[in-house]
Amino acid sequence: MRWSEAFIPTLRDAPADAEAVSHVLLIRGGFIRQVAAGSYTILPLGQRVRLKVAGIIREEMNAIGGQEMMPPTLHPAEVWRKSGRYDLMGDNLFKLEDRKGAELVLGMTEEELFALTALELSSYRDLPQIWYQMHTKFRDEPRPKSGLLRVREFTMKDSYTLDIDRAGLDAGFEKHRGAYQRIFSRMGLDAVGVEASSGAMGGSESVEFMVRSDAGEDRIVTCANCDYRANVERATSAVAAVEDGEREDLGRFPTPGLRTIKALAEALPETAAPDRQIKTLVYLLDGEQVLVLLRGDHNLQEQKLLDATAAVEARAATVEEIRELLGADPGSLGAVEVDGLKIVADEALRGRFNLVTGANEDDWHRSGVDVERDITVSHWADLREVTSGEPCPMCGGTLDLWKGIEVGHIFKLGTKYSETFGVYVQDEKGDSHPIIMGSYGIGVERGMAAVVETSHDEKGIVWPVSVAPYEVVITVVRPDDPATIEAAEGLYAQLGESGIEALFDDREERPGVKFADAELIGIPYRVVVGPRGVADAMVEMTTRRGLATEEVPLGDVVGALSELVAAQRYGI
RNA sequence: CGGGCUGUGGCGCAGCUUGGUAGCGCGCUUGCUUUGGGAGCAAGAGGCCGUCGGUUCGAAUCCGACCAGCCCGACCA
């Protein structure tokens, strides 16, 4: 492509509302333009990257036996009603009506449609199957942000495994885990698989692939010593036991003005240290009022609460609601002698006694609380959020907490969709079984943005060859000089014949502009052809990563580039 | 949905306090000079000042409502 004929609208200044590095660089480099919140036009340069990412995903999916197909994006609402997700997904699902008034939704994922397609299967001999598709998904995100990292319309590769038994699901899951590692590594992403919560998708085991970045929205816990990795929504740690001393009787004592765990602990350091207190929270789980109990120095991880109770929505109760329910304000709440309410307690409180908690009367607390003797716990669960520096639950090593971008997620779904859609096959004995499904997703444009987040410098993007929009840029210094342009044209033609994707910067711009643009858009290799070198049949070759430059004879440069590019085109 | 901020040529901004002619830098067009790290000079083009309503002789500016975008929190590839 000749740059003089290309549409590559680079900007010197970033738009004021772009903040994430990938957002700024993709806009400045002329890869994308924003249309509305979470809605972007992918420009020619961006589309070239997108197609390369999609190509890598497709190759790896096909390599594990995936079969690509294309279900519609416009779905009848009844399908989503049948799975229960029409309501479960709430406002995130785009809903519309056709001219006859029939209700439709825009697909945000395709479990339902693939389950419908799977109705064609009738025998275990048809299994296993790996089906996938890669096209537009719609999600009415409450808050699109950070350029391509979180949008309302995006391309997702989603695949589905269909198996007769658990072992088949496990095998399909492991195939995907391997394929995903290869996909991300080929894109130049250092993605790690972490244990995750399955959330609204349903299912049991799930692994998220995370790329370390401060632009990420997830928090990940990893062990410095072993390979324990988990999303904070799931992570646990080894909690040291607390010595509770002598078991005492339940008591009651005034605590005027002491409304926080910290204040109470400071007033009574001997008996009410934070780890000797019970923190009582009031939550509404799908509208039901529930008491949530944690150790005083622990914080609630809401996703764990949702997972433990199979609830869909959790919110903290308001002060008014709490007052009406328990007769006291936050700061004096407790679960002792509370009847008729569901009480969910964190495992760290199991077996504890001689504790302090609120008395459900302002400015009064209880002492000598024995959790199992004095509180009617209806459900024990791991609810606390792990913090940085705690001991690893596997090996006792130190846990590290970092932010990550979720570039992929794989789930063991089980039989939820096959049962509701009636997808059964017969085994060799003629018995009927629901198909066991797995579901696996990768966000294509988010993957692009993640590459930029983790591979750039102060000059701009540094694309790996495997996903770069062009492999080489030829920067012509003084295109008006006949000998120079002739040499450059010759080089451009030779690169084309060698199958190298070259961007030919023949624009009548000053050299500084061309260098800056080439660096901004991140082309992996740059060849500078100018009158200075052409006289001696020499050109300059610069590697974008690190910007190291060497002089190369004009006659050798195609060979050198072919070797370099060929070695990296596939990705590591 | 709660909180904070912002809407003025393609991009970045000033003007608004104290109402009266819409301005600067970059980019764009033309010409000349220049040409190895974002050139210089000259002449130009380009703006319903987010929308609607109100106040006023007069509104980018004051008032109100709405809309849009960004950022921080609850959701997800």
Q: List all nucleotides in chain B with at least one atom under 7 A from a protein Cβ.
A: 1-2, 6, 11-13, 25-27, 34-39, 68-77
Please identify, among A347, A381, A415, the residue that sits at the C-terminal boundary of a domain: A381
Nucleotide nearest to A197 (CA to C1'): B76
Query: Are both A426 and A546 inside the same structural domain?
Result: no
Q: How confident is the model at residue A202 (pLDDT cuts 50, 70, 90)?
A: low
Residue nearest to nucleotide B39 (CA to C1'): A510
Inter-residue contact A411 to A398 (CB < 8 Å): no
Q: Report whether pLDDT(A515) > 80.
A: yes
Q: Report whether pLDDT(A529) > 70.
A: yes
Nucleotide nearest to A531 (CA to C1'): B36
The pLDDT assigned to A198 comes to 67
Q: What are A63-67's contacts with CB under 8 Å, separation 24+?
A: A63/A179, A64/A130, A64/A175, A64/A176, A64/A178, A64/A179, A65/A130, A65/A175, A66/A130, A66/A131, A66/A132, A66/A159, A67/A129, A67/A130, A67/A131, A67/A132
Residue A86 CA distance to nucleotide B72 C1' (Å): 30
Residue A517 lies inside a defined structural domain of this protein: yes
Nucleotide nearest to A409 (CA to C1'): B77
Share above pLDDT 90 across residues of chain A, in percent, rounded to a whole number: 82
Query: Are both A64 and A210 inside the same structural domain?
Result: yes
Q: Which domain holds residue A45?
A: 31-74+108-235+401-453
The pLDDT assigned to A201 comes to 52
Distance of alpha carbon A47 from alpha carbon A294, whole angstroms = 50
Query: Are both A490 and A507 inside the same structural domain?
Result: yes
The pLDDT assigned to A467 comes to 98
Q: Is the dihedral of CA A397, A403, A405, A410 positive or negative?
A: positive
Query: Are both A43 and A160 inside the same structural domain?
Result: yes
Residue A83 lies inside a defined structural domain of this protein: no
Residue A307 CA distance to nucleotide B49 C1' (Å): 51
Distance of alpha carbon A185 from alpha carbon A151, whole angstroms = 24
Nucleotide nearest to A196 (CA to C1'): B76
Please identify, among A352, A381, A410, the residue that sits at the C-terminal boundary of a domain: A381
The count of structural domains within chain A is: 3
Question: What region does A14 belong to: left with phi over 0, alpha with psi -120 to 50, or beta?
Answer: beta
Average pLDDT over residues A371-398: 93
Residue nearest to nucleotide B73 (CA to C1'): A143
Residue A12 lies inside a defined structural domain of this protein: no
Residue A507 CA distance to nucleotide B57 C1' (Å): 55
User: Which CATH number does the domain housing residue A527 bear?
Assistant: 3.40.50.800
The pLDDT assigned to A259 comes to 84
Query: Are both A405 and A304 inside the same structural domain?
Result: no
Residue type at A145? Answer: K
Residue A291 CA distance to nucleotide B37 C1' (Å): 65
Query: Are both A224 and A326 inside the same structural domain?
Result: no
Query: Are both A376 and A419 inside the same structural domain?
Result: no
Which of A242-251, A292-301, A542-551 holds the top average pLDDT?
A: A542-551
pLDDT tens digits, residue range A428-486?
A: 999 999 999 999 999 999 999 999 999 999 999 999 999 999 999 999 999 999 999 99
Query: Are both A515 and A470 inside the same structural domain?
Result: yes
Residue A223 lies inside a defined structural domain of this protein: yes
The pLDDT assigned to A200 comes to 54
Residue A285 lies inside a defined structural domain of this protein: yes
pLDDT tens digits, residue range A322-343?
A: 888 888 888 889 999 888 899 9
The pLDDT assigned to A309 comes to 86
Residue A396 lies inside a defined structural domain of this protein: no
Query: Are both A468 and A444 inside the same structural domain?
Result: no
- What ipTM was reported for this prediction? 0.94
Residue A222 lies inside a defined structural domain of this protein: yes
Residue A20 lies inside a defined structural domain of this protein: no
Residue A37 CA distance to nucleotide B67 C1' (Å): 13
Residue A476 CA distance to nucleotide B47 C1' (Å): 37
| Mean pLDDT taken over chain A | 93
Residue A499 CA distance to nucleotide B26 C1' (Å): 38
Residue A90 CA distance to nucleotide B14 C1' (Å): 45
User: Which CATH number does the domain housing residue A207 bear?
Assistant: 3.30.930.10
User: Which CATH number does the domain housing residue A316 bear?
Assistant: 3.90.960.10
Nucleotide nearest to A109 (CA to C1'): B77
Residue A473 backbone dihedrals phi, psi, to 5 degrees = -115, 130
Query: Are both A414 and A543 inside the same structural domain?
Result: no
Query: Are both A118 and A145 inside the same structural domain?
Result: yes
Query: Are both A471 and A443 inside the same structural domain?
Result: no
